[in-house]
Structure 1
Amino acid sequence: MSKVAILYKKLHKWPGLIISFVLLYYGITGIFMNHRELFSGIDISRKILPENYKYNNWNNAALKCNVIIGNDSVLVYGNIGIWITDSAFSKFISFNKGLPEGSDNRKIFDVHKDNNGELYAATLFGLYAYDKIALEWNRFDLQGPNERFVGIESIGDTLYAINRSYLFKGKASGLKTHFMRVELPTPEGFINKISLFSTLWQIHSGEIFGLPGKLFVDLLGIVTIFLSVTGIIYFFFPNWLKRRSKKDKPVATIARINRWSLRWHNKIGAWTFASLIILFFTGMFLRPPLLIAIARAEVSPLKYSHLDQPNPWYDKLRDILYDNERDILLISTSDGMYFTEVNHLQPVRFINQPPVSVMGINTLQSCEKGAFLIGSFSGLFLWHPDYPEVYNYATGKLYQEQTSGR
């Protein structure tokens, strides 16, 4: 055996043992994550999770915002669903009837009350209206993608809702609201680019090639589990065999399992080597520290893939807000802040842009004198579209753009 082969065997054996336990975990959880909606009804208690996953003082986006629905009735909502409380926030009662079980199904991005008092909710897996008679939420059956709704607004008797790719418009009628899906026009100066992060994410999940791609990645997840288990077997079984042989104990079954594990570990590993390298390599860039290196990089969408969409706003819409002073709709996107006239839905990019983290906006509210409150992982800022100056809302100081932020 050559020196290179000996070195490879040692590197594959010892680091591989440690990595195999990690890959075993990734393989199992990755399959669940790849079918999030399918498993959305299954919950795990946060009590058994690390401290940073536990709710404390409404952290982890447990509550995001509130809507006043009566003199002493307030709806609060966020990642724990929708709850009704009084003006003193003295007690909380579940307002989730009609929403499917599971924390993902009760991940609420927006709750809106229209001019007639009807309630609507934008959730991770759909758009809902509240039935005041049955006292429960009902999901709209909409054209096209019916998930990842992020914002709702009403202007007069017209209701606007957006998910990550489309705007939905209809006459506000509660449960009877009929929505028309609107693909927003291409903005001036549009360049068909998408984030490298999104590209790597969809390659890693297989979604870039639709359901067949996701199922193929599921298969790679099963292969990862198999290689991890057989690798662990081959690491421990030879020494176990020696110990049993010295004690004259039966070893035939263990020896067969060891030989079978080694044979198929090598064969399946060789057959799937290239695909697994792509899977593991793309996965490395989806979390810090490697994520930082690609966070703002953009590439052209891969031709004929799931990302090659005719819709210029595919997976780019993040929030919506009506500005009654200017009579325009503000639309936050992954490409920046845009506005459009109500009667002519043509997005135009603001010249002066607020600082927003690449992870997206989570606060968009009107303030006095035509300004807006903008919040994201970059911080909380006071932004006025007509002026280039942006102020840190917490400190009151002028914001200085950072090279690491947008």
Structure 2
Amino acid sequence: MRFFAKYHKWIGLFFTFFVLMFAVSGVFLNHRRAIAAWDVARSWLPERYSYKNWNNGAVGGTLPLSGGRVLMYGGSGAWMTDTLGRSPQPLTEGMRRGADNRNLRAVTQTAGGELFAVSPFCLYRLKENTNRWEEQPVTTAHEAFTDVQVKDDTLFVVSRSHIYAAAPPYTTFERIQLQQPENYTSKVSLFRTFWLLHSGELFGTAGKTVVDTVGVLVIVLCITGLIITLFKIPIKRRRKKGVNSPKLKQTWTFSLKWHAKLGYLFFILLLIITVTGMFLRPPLLIPIARAQVKPLPGSTLESDNPWHDKLRRLRYDDRQQGWLLSSGDGFYALSSLRSVPQKLTNTPPVSVMGVTVWQKNGADEWLIGSFSGLYRWNISEQAVYDYLTGEAVAPRRSSGRPSFKNAVSGFSSDFSQGEVWFEYAKGACMKEEVAFVPMPDALADGRMSFWNVCLELHVGRLYSSFLRGLTDWYIFLAGLLMLFIAVSGYIVYRKRYRKKRTTAKKPSAA
């Protein structure tokens, strides 16, 4: 027991800061909508988070407008410029405050000249000849939006579970639930199951509340653990001097009592949250990445909607005379949004983070980009070509793994300089050895959503400046340390508790 008591104390003391950061960031991550208006100046963060050369997802795409204007949009909001990219001016007036609310996933234009843009939680509309966005309600359900498209005079807004359609004046939306695809099974990703179990969302609001409670509990355990360890020093010093310390002793005793009791009572929940978190990052992610399981009965994954939390992007293909759909399960073709989706084969590799670029590339091809690269996709020929090399890409069994060497976050063919793609780390890139237009100073001083800062903190990427090569192993190693802290504390409590209980039950000597 001395071994466990000793190392529970010292490993816990060494790791307290990181455990606190896990707990605090985890609670905030569970409430993205509530904190969507909060953001942090990128200048406060490590240099890799600063905007340089339109990197870090600043640009997702562009939309050509009348009068030689070009609208740039992405994680930095919306910017109006011309075909030469000169003097980009911010166009965010009327949007909700906060980087998350201005992180534009897609922008489209109606035949009447109105612009519509979607962020994760909002649909915005910009009437022609105005410079102010208005928020347009779509649904009362709390769904995250992923795309917006126009076909003829109908506006389609894509959420992660449904498609919403509206005719002019685009104030009333009809919810469309897509049919089951052929050969559909109700199985869900084991990775997704672990993810939702880790956050508590697997059991809805009640589950998230429990996990939030555990997060607060971990904060209390860290604080009481520090008190137990550090308050001993002044208590011992005063004892040597013959000075009594009733308040310090009282605080120490109170902290020890509740540190032990709370750790013991919530031991199982601590284990579940720690272990599931470890499986969300390599190396433990690898064996579960492709695994499919039946949804847990009564969980949020058990849904009558076969597309629950799977929809990503939507396009209409004039050549095929039908719709194309990007989902968490791959690409599908639909003759109409009421027909049975047909899964497509030999499709471009797409990272688990989804499609970031999807636009026409001539009459017969689509350009598909993600954190797994940039590809030309010819559906008629069932062929995929690497955009940079022109080489044919062999069919893949599963979604592409993020390369981060060619992690494409945006693309544009609307500038006079030629086609430009935006890599997440490097920023603007062009085939010709010419530089794209420089970023405006106003964007260089951009902001990052507080939720994204919490995510970077939670997974350890904010520590990469000193973790370096260990950054990818941070979650796994931190999980092992947290498991040892929890298990050793449980063992010490059980043995001491049983010893005290056994001693108390012994009959006193006659």
TM-score (norm. length: structure 1): 0.93
For 2:177, the equivalent position in structure 1 comes to 183
Cα distance between partner residues in 2 of 1:80 and 1:244: 57
Please list every run of 5 or more consecutive structure 1 residues that lacks an aligned counterpart in the other structure: none
For 2:508, the equivalent position in structure 1 comes to none
Deviation at residue 191 of structure 1 after TM alignment: 1.0
For 1:150, the equivalent position in structure 2 comes to 146
Deviation at residue 403 of structure 1 after TM alignment: 7.2
For 1:100, the equivalent position in structure 2 comes to 96
Deviation at residue 352 of structure 1 after TM alignment: 2.8
Which 10-residue stretch deviates more, 108-117 or 50-59? Answer: 50-59
1:251-262 aligned at under 5 Å gives the runs: 251-262=245-256
Task: Report sequence identity in percent.
Answer: 39
Instruction: Please give the per-residue CA displacement for 1:339-379, whole angstroms capped at 9, x wherever unaligned.
Output: 11137443211133221112211111122242211111211
For 2:333, the equivalent position in structure 1 comes to 339
For 1:170, the equivalent position in structure 2 comes to 166
Deviation at residue 126 of structure 1 after TM alignment: 2.1
Deviation at residue 400 of structure 1 after TM alignment: 4.0
Cα distance between partner residues in 2 of 1:288 and 1:114: 44
- Kindly tell me: are residues 138 and 289 of structure 1, through their superposed partners in 2, closer, same or farther at Cα, counting changes over 3 Å? farther
Q: Which amino acid in the other structure matches residue 242 of structure 1?
A: K
| Structure with greater strand percent | 1
1:31-50 aligned at under 5 Å gives the runs: 31-50=27-46
2:105 aligned with 1:84? no
- Kindly tell me: are residues 67 and 20 of structure 1, through their superposed partners in 2, closer, same or farther at Cα, counting changes over 3 Å? same
2:350 aligned with 1:353? no
Instruction: Please give the per-residue CA displacement for 1:230-282, whole angstroms capped at 9, x wherever unaligned.
Output: 11221222123212333455522222111111110000111111011111111
2:211 aligned with 1:217? yes
For 1:161, the equivalent position in structure 2 comes to 157
For 2:187, the equivalent position in structure 1 comes to 193
2:396 aligned with 1:399? no
For 2:464, the equivalent position in structure 1 comes to none
Q: Which amino acid in the other structure matches residue 334 of structure 2?
A: T
Deviation at residue 24 of structure 1 after TM alignment: 0.6
Deviation at residue 294 of structure 1 after TM alignment: 2.5
2:306 aligned with 1:312? yes
For 1:115, the equivalent position in structure 2 comes to 111
Which 10-residue stretch deviates more, 236-245 or 219-228? Answer: 236-245
Q: How many residue pairs were aligned?
A: 400
Cα distance between partner residues in 1 of 2:363 and 2:129: 40
- Kindly tell me: are residues 345 and 177 of structure 1, through their superposed partners in 2, closer, same or farther at Cα, counting changes over 3 Å? farther
Cα distance between partner residues in 1 of 2:135 and 2:74: 18
Other structure's SS at 1:253 match: helix
For 1:7, the equivalent position in structure 2 comes to 3
- Kindly tell me: are residues 318 and 404 of structure 1, through their superposed partners in 2, closer, same or farther at Cα, counting changes over 3 Å? closer
For 1:278, the equivalent position in structure 2 comes to 272
For 1:53, the equivalent position in structure 2 comes to 49
Cα distance between partner residues in 2 of 1:216 and 1:152: 35
Cα distance between partner residues in 2 of 1:75 and 1:123: 15
Please list every run of 5 or more consecutive structure 2 residues that lacks an aligned counterpart in the other structure: 401-510
For 1:66, the equivalent position in structure 2 comes to 62
Other structure's SS at 1:32 match: helix
For 1:384, the equivalent position in structure 2 comes to 378
Q: Which amino acid in the other structure matches residue 99 of structure 1?
A: M
Q: Is the contact between residue 123 and residue 147 of structure 1 (CA under 8 Å) also seen in structure 2?
A: no
Instruction: Please give the per-residue CA displacement for 1:63-102, whole angstroms capped at 9, x wherever unaligned.
Output: 1101112223211111111121222222122211221101
Q: Which amino acid in the other structure matches residue 80 of structure 1?
A: S
Cα distance between partner residues in 2 of 1:345 and 1:165: 17
- Kindly tell me: are residues 343 and 206 of structure 1, through their superposed partners in 2, closer, same or farther at Cα, counting changes over 3 Å? closer
Cα distance between partner residues in 2 of 1:98 and 1:258: 53
TM-score (norm. length: structure 2): 0.74
Q: Is the contact between residue 323 and residue 337 of structure 2 (CA under 8 Å) also seen in structure 1?
A: no
Deviation at residue 136 of structure 1 after TM alignment: 2.4
Whose relative contact order is higher, 1 or 2, with alpha carbons under 8 Å and at least 6 apart? 2
1:267 to 252, 261, 266: 261
1:315-330 aligned at under 5 Å gives the runs: 315-330=309-324
Other structure's SS at 1:63 match: coil
- Kindly tell me: are residues 403 and 52 of structure 1, through their superposed partners in 2, closer, same or farther at Cα, counting changes over 3 Å? farther
For 1:246, the equivalent position in structure 2 comes to 240
Other structure's SS at 2:205 match: helix
Cα distance between partner residues in 2 of 1:186 and 1:212: 29
